[in-house]
């Protein structure tokens, strides 16, 4: 695209909605002297710049817009549902090791809800443990299949969008708490070249590079390549923390109205499994003082978690006349997993019993989303209507070696220095899942500041489970209809109140005691919120009150002695308050503050002993604060960042027999920039607080992450 500019007035009643690479650039050009009018500036094609405001780099801690909550893409303030965006600036400053670390300063999120677990990204949203079922990447599902997680390294991400509450209309089957959309780095039409190397705790060595450039003379083709290599360990004895990552893409934009972005990645990991360990004096049959203090950090040499994954996909957009745009997203992903563990079983008077298992998995997914968007204007406002069809298919082949042979670790010698035999074959089979959905969403913004968003979806779901050893298979089909409606009102003083009603669903595989298939669980939420955005657009204050309910909850049928039948009388209610502040407070200070108050309750259950109990992993209070301070007055080029997170004590199971104790953890990040050098020093769990991520009833606990430090030196070239 060739842009010839001339001075013109540049006004915006809401400057925070301007993307720095589009209208901001135009406003800057307009302010140049008249003698510069004939200068020609080459910019990326229009449709690329439009898309990048929802997927590109963001300067600062406040994202101006999103397409996660409204698929047509709107300013953040117009989403009638609680939403937060972890920006590229925040990811760069904090340099999180996992996705759950990237979102740990976001209100309403209980990160690392299963403690230190390198297999998956685990977290709960608004009191629902759902890390394995609520992750999306670039708007397409990236959910866990068995032990196949399709995990993404934060270094390959540009931003992370967190949508709280049911999202069935936009994303189909999803649990009640919400969803998290990971946005992959895309090619940039501005030059980018960075590299770094680092050394950290437990002998971890790491190096990475990120490069992007225009690849042809016409300026219509751009490429990006992101590399990461890590060789290291964790505080667990005999652990692994290794990763090799190649992520890249190409964007071809032959005109202002057409673009195609191809995205691909390859990743190979060797990580450390989840380790449950009993607490002496608290767990059944484990006497006080019977285990050394570091026992929870010991593991068998048999333990390993190795994965190899790859993905390929594209995003295509073409703008027709009369306001119509066709959008398509597609991704194919495959992962092979080799997981072996000597896992804790129970305790006796003489010691701890363990059993071995080994899973070999081969899983792949295919997903696409096609929609047609129609934008139109009237004398009263602007309307954006999207009609779409999406599809997802997944298949997981699992061979499991498990025979429940036990190994005793005596209290007199609590070590794992013994050989573990490969268990006998226990199961072989395949699980396939498919989901098709038709959806409609409309967003109308009146010139008075009122916006109305409404949507409707119908989904068809099918799960097939094959037992290859028994030669049997079972298929379950379901369907679900969900809707949503929300209002936002942008007032002249910067206040933006909103109200919304949203619905969601998930499939329940299983049968009742009479043999009838289970219906999907349903979720519904009423939410009332208020946002404040000052005229300078530097920060946003948000408050939300919500009442969230999940019905048709799957419970074991207590009348079935084989524990193979279920009931669906369960209901869980979660309601509370969330407060969040994001953005720049002064010229030198920016960051994010979050607080959540939560009341969760099991209001219906087939097990009368659970009625009135709190839901699992739902802390009633959470507080988080992260601040970045430009300390140039002390030392030019120095930036200091620090954070504090607090989780109140919470029950870990719905039986409410044991609470995971409360904890507070501090983090630190120092950055020094000198010429082309960028030196970063970050510390997680600064004071090495010893805490538990989860404690199970009479069974054991999983430790939270201990102190880790990393020093990196980078350069731009």
Q: Please state, in angstroms and rounded to a whole number, the distance separating the CA atoms of residues 94 and 669.
A: 6
Rounded to a whole number of angstroms, the CA Rg of the chain reads 26
Tokens of 271: 């990580």
Q: Cα–Cα distance between 72 and 271 in angstroms, integer? A: 38
| Residue 515: burial class (beta carbons within 10 Å; 0-12, 13-18, 19+) | exposed
Structural tokens at position 420: 């573990």
Q: What is the distance between the alpha carbons of residues 250 and 221, in angstroms, rounded to a whole number?
A: 7
Is the CB of residue 137 less than 8 Å from the CB of residue 152? yes
Q: How far apart are CA 71 and CA 504, in angstroms?
A: 16
Alpha helix locations (H) across 449-529? none
Number of residues in the chain: 717
- Cβ atoms of 445 and 382 within 8 Å: the answer is yes
12 pLDDT more than 50: no
Superfamily in which the 192-465+484-716 domain is placed by CATH = TonB-dependent receptor, beta-barrel domain (2.40.170.20)
Which residues are registered as beta bridge partners of 124? 110, 129
* Spatial contact of 197 and 209, defined as CB atoms under 8 Å apart: no
Distance CA 544, CA 111 (A): 20
DSSP labels, 266-331: EEEEEE-----B--TTTSTT--TTSS-TTGGG---TT-EEEEEEEEEEEEEEEE-STTEEEEEEEE
Sign for the pseudo-dihedral over CA of 44, 47, 53, 56: negative
The Cβ-side half-sphere exposure at 9, using a 13 Å CA radius, reads: 2
How many angstroms separate the CA atoms of 662 and 684, rounded?
18
- Mean per-residue pLDDT, 328-348: 97
3 state SS for 185-249: CCCCCCCEEEEEEEEEHHHEEEEEEEEEEECCCCCCEEEEEEEEEEECCCCCCCCCCEEEEEEEE
8 A C-beta contact, residue 249 and residue 236 = no
Query: pLDDT of 207-238, one tens digit each?
Result: 999 999 999 999 999 999 999 999 999 999 99
Give 281-329 pLDDT, tens digit per residue: 999 899 999 999 999 999 999 999 999 999 999 999 999 988 999 999 9
Closest CA to 171 of 498, 507, 486, 505: 505
CA distance to 144, 362, 465, per residue, from 428 (Å): 19, 12, 11
Would you place residue 32 in the very low, low, confident or very high pLDDT band (cuts 50, 70, 90)?
very low
Per-residue pLDDT averaged across 559-583, rounded? Answer: 90
Cross-strand pairs, 54: none
On whether the CB atoms of residues 650 and 620 are closer than 8 A, the answer is yes
Would you state the pLDDT for residue 30? 37
User: Token pair for residue 69?
Assistant: 């909550």
Tokens of 29: 């050009």
Average of pLDDT values for 502-512? 92
Report whether 91 contacts 104 (CB < 8 A): no
Does the pLDDT of residue 239 top 70, yes or no? yes
Average pLDDT over residues 628-642: 95
Q: What is the 3-state secondary structure (H, E, C) of 361-375?
A: EEEEEEEEEEEEEEE
Q: Where are the domains of the chain?
A: 192-465+484-716
> Tokens in use for 27?
């406003």
pLDDT in tens, 389-428: 999 999 999 999 999 999 999 999 999 999 999 999 999 9
φ, ψ of residue 608 to 5 degrees: the values are -60, -25
Percent of the chain scored above 70 by pLDDT? 94
User: Quick one: tokens of 327?
Assistant: 């959008």
Backbone angles phi, psi at 669, to 5 degrees: -145, 125
Instruction: Quickly tell me which residue has 């068998």 as its tokens.
Output: 300
Does residue 86 have a pLDDT over 70?
A: yes
Residue 538, helix vs strand vs coil: coil
CA distances from 75 to 62, 86, 181 (A): 11, 15, 17
**Which residue in 272, 207, 203, 273 sits closest to 240, CA to CA?**
272
Burial pattern 40-52, b for ≥16 Cβ within 10 A else e, equals: eeebbbbbbbbbb
Q: How far apart are CA 642 and CA 635, in angstroms?
A: 17
Give me the pLDDT at residue 42, please. Answer: 56
User: Residue 520: pLDDT above 70?
Assistant: yes
More confident call, 114 vs 599: 599
Mean of pLDDT values over 622-641: 96
With 0-12 / 13-18 / 19 or more C-beta atoms within 10 angstroms meaning exposed / middle / buried, residue 337 is buried
- Report in angstroms the alpha-carbon separations of 43 from 35, 75, 256, 262: 21, 23, 10, 20
Encode pLDDT of 597-620 as tens digits: 999 999 999 888 999 999 999 999
Record the pTM: 0.93
Q: Quick one: average pLDDT of 432-441?
A: 97
């Amino acid at each position: 695209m060739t842009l010839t500019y001339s001075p013109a007035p540049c006004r915006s009643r809401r400057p925070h909605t301007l993307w720095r690479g589009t209208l901001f650039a135009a406003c800057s050009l307009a302010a140049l002297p008249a003698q510069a009018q004939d200068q020609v500036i080459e910019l990326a094609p229009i449709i690329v710049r439009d898309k990048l405001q929802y997927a590109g780099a963001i300067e600062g801690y406040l994202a101006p817009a999103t397409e996660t909550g409204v698929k047509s893409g709107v300013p953040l303030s117009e989403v009638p549902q609680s939403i937060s965006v972890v920006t590229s600036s925040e990811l760069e400053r904090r340099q999180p090791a996992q996705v759950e670390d990237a979102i740990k300063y976001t209100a309403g999120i209980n990160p690392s809800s299963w403690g230190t677990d390198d297999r998956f990204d685990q977290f709960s949203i608004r009191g629902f443990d759902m890390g394995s079922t609520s992750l999306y990447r670039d708007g397409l599902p990236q959910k866990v299949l068995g032990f196949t997680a399709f995990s993404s390294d934060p270094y390959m991400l540009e931003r992370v969008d967190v949508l709280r509450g049911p999202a069935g209309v936009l994303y189909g089957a999803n649990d009640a708490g919400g969803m998290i959309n990971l946005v992959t780095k895309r090619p940039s039409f501005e030059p980018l070249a960075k590299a770094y190397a680092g050394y950290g705790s437990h002998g971890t060595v790491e190096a990475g590079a990120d490069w992007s450039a225009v690849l042809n003379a016409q300026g219509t083709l751009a490429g990006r390549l992101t590399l990461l290599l890590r060789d290291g360990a964790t505080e667990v004895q005999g652990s692994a923390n290794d990763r090799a990552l190649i992520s890249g893409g190409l964007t071809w934009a032959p005109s202002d109205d057409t673009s195609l972005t191809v995205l691909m990645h390859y990743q190979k990991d060797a990580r450390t499994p989840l380790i449950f360990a009993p607490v002496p004096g608290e767990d059944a049959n484990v006497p006080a003082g019977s285990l050394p203090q570091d026992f929870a950090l010991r593991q068998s040499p048999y333990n390993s978690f190795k994965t190899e994954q790859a993905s390929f996909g594209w995003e295509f957009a073409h703008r027709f006349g009369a306001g119509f745009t066709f959008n398509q997203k597609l991704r194919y992903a495959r992962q092979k997993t080799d997981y072996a563990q000597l896992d804790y079983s129970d305790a006796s008077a003489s010691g701890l019993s363990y059993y071995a298992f080994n899973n070999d998995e081969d899983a792949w997914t295919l997903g696409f989303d096609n929609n047609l968007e129609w934008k139109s204007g009237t004398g009263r406002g602007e309307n954006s209507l999207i009609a779409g069809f999406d599809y997802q298919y997944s298949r997981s082949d699992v061979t499991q070696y498990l025979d429940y042979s036990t190994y005793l670790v005596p209290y007199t010698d609590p070590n794992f220095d013994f050989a573990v035999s490969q268990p006998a074959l226990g199961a072989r089979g395949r699980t396939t899942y498919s989901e098709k959905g038709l959806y409609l969403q409309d967003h109308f913004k009146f010139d008075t500041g009122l916006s109305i968003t409404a949507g409707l979806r119908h989904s068809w779901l099918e799960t097939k489970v094959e037992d290859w050893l028994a030669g049997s298979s079972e298929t379950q089909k379901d369907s679900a209809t969900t809707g949503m409606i929300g209002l936002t009102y942008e007032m002249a003083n910067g206040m933006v109140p909103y109200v919304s009603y949203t619905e969601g669903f998930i499939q329940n595989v299983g049968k009742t005691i009479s043999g009838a298939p289970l219906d999907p669980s349903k979720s519904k939420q009423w939410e009332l919120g208020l946002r404040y955005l000052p005229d300078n657009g530097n920060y946003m204050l948000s408050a939300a009150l919500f009442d969230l309910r999940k019905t048709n909850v799957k419970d074991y049928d207590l009348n079935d002695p084989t524990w193979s039948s279920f009931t669906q009388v369960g209901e869980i209610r979660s309601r509370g308050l969330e407060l969040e502040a994001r953005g720049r407070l002064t010229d030198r200070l920016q960051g994010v503050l979050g607080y959540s108050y939560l009341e969760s309750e099991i209001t219906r259950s087939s097990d009368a002993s659970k009625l009135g109990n709190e839901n699992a992993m739902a802390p009633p209070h959470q507080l988080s604060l992260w601040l970045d301070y430009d300390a140039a007055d002390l030392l030019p080029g120095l930036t200091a960042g620090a954070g504090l997170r607090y989780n109140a004590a919470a029950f870990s199971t719905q039986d409410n027999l044991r609470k995971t104790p409360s904890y507070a953890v501090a983090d630190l990040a120092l950055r020094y920039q000198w010429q082309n050098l960028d030196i970063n020093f970050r510390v997680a769990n600064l004071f090495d607080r010893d805490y538990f991520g989860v404690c199970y009833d009479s069974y054991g606990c999983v430790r939270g992450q201990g102190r880790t430090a990393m020093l990196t030196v980078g350069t731009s070239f």
